[in-house]
């Protein structure tokens, strides 16, 4: 296992759509493990998408356990080729992202979602969730589409400076 370097805004890999993963190989399993370790070792981080560690493939990890805004919680989620089946009830929350360390922004996203993907064992998984887990899924799926929260910002006055990601 290893802690991976997280790419920051300006890195081209963050702005292109990630490739679909047709076959989950041992390399993907190692990558997922390293992404999980990187996520857990970064204070505040609840998710990482593969493009954030320089790999343009459709995979993310997410774990919102214990977060104050979490309601429904699936624990650790590792998902390949995720697709949003339904998304509703948008709310505005101020988001931060490891790949955009100097800014936060008010972003409107659905708070009720159903997402489908493939888990680490190659099985189809359908996740119905809400609140902060829904937000996390949508934020990570955006990374796989080559989008940062800045692409979804609520307007020019909704972007804020901060010192650093936590």
The answer to the question of residue 162 lying near another protein (CB under 8 A) is yes
In the set 37, 57, 123, 140, the catalytic residue is: 140
From the list Zn ion, another protein, none, partner contacted by residue 10 (C-beta under 5 to 8 A by kind): none
161 binds another protein, rule: CB under 8 A? yes
With CB under 8 A as the rule, give the number of residues binding another protein. 26
33 classed as catalytic = no
115 CB burial (10 A radius; 0-12, 13-18, 19+): buried
- Single out the segment in contact with another protein by CB under 8 A; choices: 73-81, 97-105, 112-120, 122-130: 97-105
* 97 is an interface residue for Zn ion by CB under 5 A: yes
Which region among 19-27, 62-70, 84-92, 94-102 touches Zn ion (by CB under 5 A)? 94-102
Nearer to Zn ion, 18 or 97 (CB): 97
Q: In terms of CB distance, is 117 or 136 closer to another protein?
A: 136
* Binding residues for Zn ion (CB under 5 A): 97
Cite the active site residues. Answer: 140
């Amino acid at each position: 296992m290893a802690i991976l370097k997280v790419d920051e805004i300006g890195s081209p890999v963050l702005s292109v759509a990630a490739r679909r993963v047709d076959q989950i190989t041992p390399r993907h399993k190692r990558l997922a493990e390293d992404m999980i370790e990187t996520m857990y070792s970064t204070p505040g981080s609840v998710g990482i998408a593969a493009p954030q560690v320089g790999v343009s493939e459709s995979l993310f990890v997410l774990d919102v356990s214990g977060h104050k805004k979490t309601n429904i919680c699936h624990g650790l989620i590792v998902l390949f080729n995720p697709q949003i089946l339904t998304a509703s009830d948008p709310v505005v929350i101020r988001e931060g992202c490891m790949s955009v360390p100097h800014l936060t922004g008010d972003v409107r996203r659905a708070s009720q979602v159903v997402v489908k993907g493939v888990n680490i064992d190659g099985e189809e998984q359908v996740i119905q969730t809400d609140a902060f887990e829904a937000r996390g899924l949508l934020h990570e799926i955006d990374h796989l589409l080559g989008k940062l929260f800045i692409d979804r910002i609520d307007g020019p006055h909704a972007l804020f400076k901060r010192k650093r990601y936590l």
